[in-house]
């Protein structure tokens, strides 16, 4: 069992939710709702993990956190 963290944004142009999992190439998806996005992301991560070697699975990054910063422009 793996505990995987996805980064989720809402695309302002399309209104879609977009998710990516850092550290897993190809693990990204989009959907109209967060429930649909969760389902899609789980499926794509499972597929990506199937394609990875056991050694590569051991090298998955550990989620630490997200930090927001404010900058002047």
Which parts of the chain are beta strand (E)?
7-10, 17-20, 28-31
> What pTM value is reported for the model?
0.82
| Domains in the chain, number | 1
- Tokens 């399309």 found at: 14
Q: Is 28 a member of any domain?
A: yes
The pLDDT of residue 7: 94
| 41-65 tens-digit pLDDT | 999 999 999 999 999 999 898 888 8
Domain residues for 15? 7-58
CATH number at residue 12: 3.30.160.250
Q: Is 66 a member of any domain?
A: no
Q: Is 54 a member of any domain?
A: yes
| C-alpha to C-alpha distance for 31 and 44, rounded to whole angstroms | 13
């Amino acid at each position: 069992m793996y505990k995987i963290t996805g980064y989720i944004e809402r695309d302002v142009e399309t209104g879609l939710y977009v998710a990516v999992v850092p550290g897993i190439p190809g693990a990204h998806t989009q959907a109209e709702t967060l429930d649909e996005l969760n389902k899609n992301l789980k499926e794509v991560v499972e597929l990506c993990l199937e394609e990875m070697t056991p050694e590569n699975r051991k090298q998955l990054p550990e989620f630490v956190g997200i930090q927001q910063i404010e900058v002047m422009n």
